[in-house]
A and B are shown apart, each in its own frame.
Chain A
Amino acid sequence: MTTSPTARDTVLGRIRDALALAPTPEVTVPRAYRTGRTLPDGERLALLTDRLVDYKAQVHPCTGDDTAEVIAEVLRERGARRIGVPDGLDEQWLTAYDGEVQRDSADIPAPSLDALDGVVTASAVSCAETGTIFLDGSPDQGRRALSLVPDLHVCVVDLSSVVAGVPEAVARLVPERPTTLISGPSATSDIELERVEGVHGPRDLVVVIRTDA
């Protein structure tokens, strides 16, 4: 009995044929672009803030001691009475908040997160030059649905985790973790290329930057 080749064998065979028919010389990748950049704290803070504001995110710099007060104030301003937090979020950050807090767990169905007024998470890394915050699913950041479904995302960034550019940020990531890059609130430019903040992701992004953490 003969077996017909699998699609896998066929496609790989075609690729090898193609490379034999049109061989090209080996290339070495020139990585002459900027890597390993460092910037002083003040410059990283200024740059990240400028980029985030440009994306229409709200930025609140504060000290580590003021974290709980600032978070409570942000939530109060927006009338957020019921919030979700990842299971591993620092309890100290919520001591000034008097609303209801739902600690997340995998058995809470994701659609029910839609009933929350907002979510507070930490973050893994941030890139100043592009205004990008990286979440990697660590216990203080939670599963991806938690920071996606509620309409308000309050994200805490430690200045020590803010790096200058994209290469410096990618170097700090753990590839196997589910990673989300966030650069401002949800947006679209699909109608006449006019930017509109807020489609499906959180329409309100508030970034609390702890300058001494």
Chain B
Amino acid sequence: MSTFLGMPAAPPRSPFGTGNLRGDRTFPEAAHGELRNDQLRHNLGRATRTIRTKRLNVTGELPDWERLRDAGSAVKTDTMNRLPELLEQLEQKVTERGGTVHWARDGVEANEIVTRLIRATGSSDVIKVKSMATQEIGLNEHLEAAGITPYETDLAELIVQLADDKPSHILVPAIHRNRDEIRQIFLDEIPGVDPDLDNVPAHLAAAARAYLREKFMTARVAVSGANFGIAETGTLAVVESEGNGRMCLTLPDTLITVMGIEKVLPRYQDLEVFLQLLPRSSTGERMNPYTSMWTGVTPGDGPQDFHLILLDNGRTAALADTIGREALNCIRCSACLNVCPVYERAGGHAYGSTYPGPIGAVLTPQLAGMHAAKNDPNSSLPYASSLCGACFDACPVKIDIPSMLVELRHQHTEQSGTTVEKLAMKAAAGVMGKPKLFTAAQKAASLGRVVGGRDGTISRLPAPLSGWSDSRDTAAPPKQSFRSWLASAEGAETMRAAADEGARLTAETPEEDQ
């Protein structure tokens, strides 16, 4: 038992340099390259348009859609408020039903636990259900380094893995690839594939079926994520389409599930809300083809060895931020990506993180931080938005992403406090608060005229202020400040004249609009 003693400490972010929560370039740098890719923009534009229409159709047909959103939002907020007791309850229920629960402080620890559990089975390969959490912690890379081969079984994840690529969308990770590219990837990478394979999606899907069938029938260990974990009953749920999830969750002897601590839900009844919100927001279907729900171990049915890993990896750091914690309510539907004008043009890779799009721009800095001193690409994410608000409207659990983006911009500006600009702003605030100092400063500022050009603007300041003048012109200070002009005889005369003029106009104006 941990006893609460003394002052609470701010929980740590996901360790710097681990996992996939940080790109190697800032958003503008990465987007610059992506925007020149016509194929990518064409694929993305077509795909996001299609899914937007489908989503509006199926959310529009439910008369209580807004009430479902209200319920979903409140359930998640209530969950975060009661997280310790709910996780302890989930642990107790899973354990009672024959499962084993592990806790991981960060991705490194989770990867080590998964590796140890796989090694204990003697297996050198593992089949995987598409999972954001294992993508976030870089599990595949870790397993490969440990000599264990992970096989992604979701069609899009398989395409990404075979092409040694990175996912670019939460729901459709290969959204940046068209059918011709996918055909070529399969021809190059799938052993024994029919050389006459064409680009018809049904034929490409059949090729993936044939390739993975043997893996499903022989694999002894599977790794999955979880969409929901029910504290009340210990039930876990995975929502999917292809049946690869059912295969992984049913056929192997050992199942290892990695779940972020924020995925817990209080009651089994809460599924009635989320099984409506998630599919309609995500794929734009009334229901996804398959959902699997299991509670610990069932004798004679499915894996007899079940492990649940509860992952922190920066989630508690997000929880410690009154505004930022709302990002933890995300159910990974990806509706915000599909409505975002910035995502639609830049694509998912520009965000550099497992979580792209509007939710990624707020969740990634919450989990992994924004390191001012390291020119962190994550510091650029809160600016990857026009603040149009479409994401807020689309979110099934009503996450106010625009407000969070503004808050993160504020935090970024506050913490990047070592620049000369920042010091200048602080000095200005101090001076403006003291009239005598301010007057003196204005006198000094008129000396700035020497750097102004003939047009009265300063377009190039010397270092270290050159960064400021790179992006804007500054008006050169006038000869005389307003305050010194006002105190002069000329200023006093002008003010008197203006007052007389004002009094005369008031007297002449008929009283109409009272």
Contact = CB atoms under 8 A, between A and B. Distances in A.
Interface in B225-257: 230, 232-233, 235, 241-244, 246-247, 249-251
A21 B233 contact: no
A180 B105 contact: no
Interface string A111-142: 10010000000000001011110000100000
Contacts, number: 273
A6 B202 CA distance: 49
Interface string A11-55: 111111111111010111111111100000000000000010001
Interface in B249-299: 249-251, 261, 268-269, 271-273, 275-276, 279, 283, 285-295, 298
Interface string A183-213: 1111111111110111111100000000000
B307 interface: no
A123 to B, nearest CB: 14
A188 B268 contact: no
A117 to B, nearest CB: 16
A14 B164 CA distance: 36
Contact of B104 (A7, A27, A185, A201): A7
A7 B103 contact: yes
Interface stretch (B205-213, B352-360, B392-400): B205-213
Interface string B59-86: 0000110011011001101101101100
Contact of A34 (B64, B217, B268): B64
A28 to B, nearest CB: 7
A13 B83 CA distance: 11
Interface size class of B (residues with CB under 8 A): 35 or more
A145 B251 contact: yes
A54 to B, nearest CB: 8
Interface in B281-328: 283, 285-295, 298, 300-302, 310, 312, 316-317, 319-322, 325
Nearest to B230: A175
Given A11-B261, A16-B2, A190-B154, A199 B81 contact: no
B318 to A, nearest CB: 8
A114 B212 CA distance: 13
A185 to B, nearest CB: 7
Nearest to B86: A15
A102 to B, nearest CB: 16
Contact of A196 (B8, B205, B287): B205
A170 B290 contact: no
Q: Which of A8, A51, A185, A198 is the most central at the interface, judged by chain B CB atoms within 10 Å of its CB?
A: A8
B77 A27 contact: yes
- Which one of A144, A145, A184 has the highest number of Cβ atoms from chain B below 10 Å of its Cβ? A144
Contact of A18 (B271, B300, B320): B320
A180 B67 contact: no
B77 A178 contact: no
Contacts of B322: 22, 24
Per CB-CB distance, the 4 closest pairs between chain A and chain B, nearest first, are: A201-B243, A200-B243, A17-B8, A18-B320
21 contacts: A7-B105, A14-B12, A21-B320, A26-B78, A27-B78, A29-B74, A30-B67, A33-B67, A110-B217, A130-B279, A149-B251, A166-B276, A175-B233, A175-B293, A176-B97, A179-B293, A181-B275, A186-B242, A192-B179, A193-B175, A200-B216
